[in-house]
Structure 1
Amino acid sequence: MGEIERRLADLGLTLPPAMPMLPGVRLPFSLVLRQGSRLLFSGHGPQAPDGGIHPMRGKLGAELGVEDGYEAARQVALSVLGSIQREIGSLDRITRWVKVLGLVNSTPTFCAQPAVINGFSDLILSLWGPERGAHVRSAVGMAQLPFNIPVEVEGELEIDGD
Structure 2
Amino acid sequence: MSEIEDRLASMGLRLPPPFEVPSGLSLPFQFVQVHGTRVLISGHGPQGEDGQMTGPFGKLGSELSVSEGYQAARLVALSILASLKRSIGDLDRVQQWHRVFGMVNSAPGFIQQPQVINGFSDLILAVYGAERGAHTRSAVGMAELPFNIPVEIEGELSLHP
TM-score range, shorter chain: over 0.9
Any unmatched runs of 5+ in structure 1? none
In the other structure, the counterpart of 1:9 is: 9
Partner of 1:148: 148
Instruction: Give the 3-state SS of the residue equivalent to 1:96 in structure 2.
Output: strand
Of the structure 1 ranges 44-53 and 20-29, higher mean CA displacement relative to structure 2 is found in 20-29
Counterpart in 1 of 2:160?
160
User: What residue number does 1:32 align with?
Assistant: 32
Residue type of the partner of 1:46?
P
Matched, 1:137 2:137: yes
Q: Distance in 1 between matches of 2:125 and 2:55?
A: 26
Match in the other structure for 1:65: 65
For residues 20 and 126 of structure 2, what CA distance do their matches in structure 1 show?
A: 29
Cα separation, 2, equivalents of 1:21 and 1:159: 28
Distance in 1, Cα, partners of 2:146 & 2:130 = 32
SS of the residue aligned with 1:48?
A: coil
Q: Displaced runs of 4+ in structure 1, greater than 2 A?
A: none
User: 2:49 is matched with which residue?
Assistant: 49
Q: Percent identity?
A: 60
How far apart are residue 147 of structure 1 and its match? Answer: 0.5
Name the amino acid aligned to 2:136. V
Distance 1:81 1:136 in 2: 18
Once the two structures are TM-superposed, the CA of residue 111 in structure 1 deviates from its matched residue by 0.2
Aligned-partner Cα distance in 2 for 1:70–1:78: 13
Between stretches 35-44 and 20-29, larger displacement belongs to 20-29
What do residues 63-101 of structure 1 show as CA deviations (whole Å, max 9, x unaligned)? 101000000000000000000000011100001000000
Letter of the 1:124 counterpart: I
Cα distance, 1:55 vs. partner? Answer: 2.4
For 1:92-131, list aligned pairs within 5 A. Answer: 92-131=92-131
SS of the equivalent of 2:144 reads coil
Secondary structure of 2:96's aligned partner: strand
User: 1:56, 1:33 → 2: CA distance?
Assistant: 29
Count of matched residue positions in the alignment of Structure 1 and Structure 2: 161
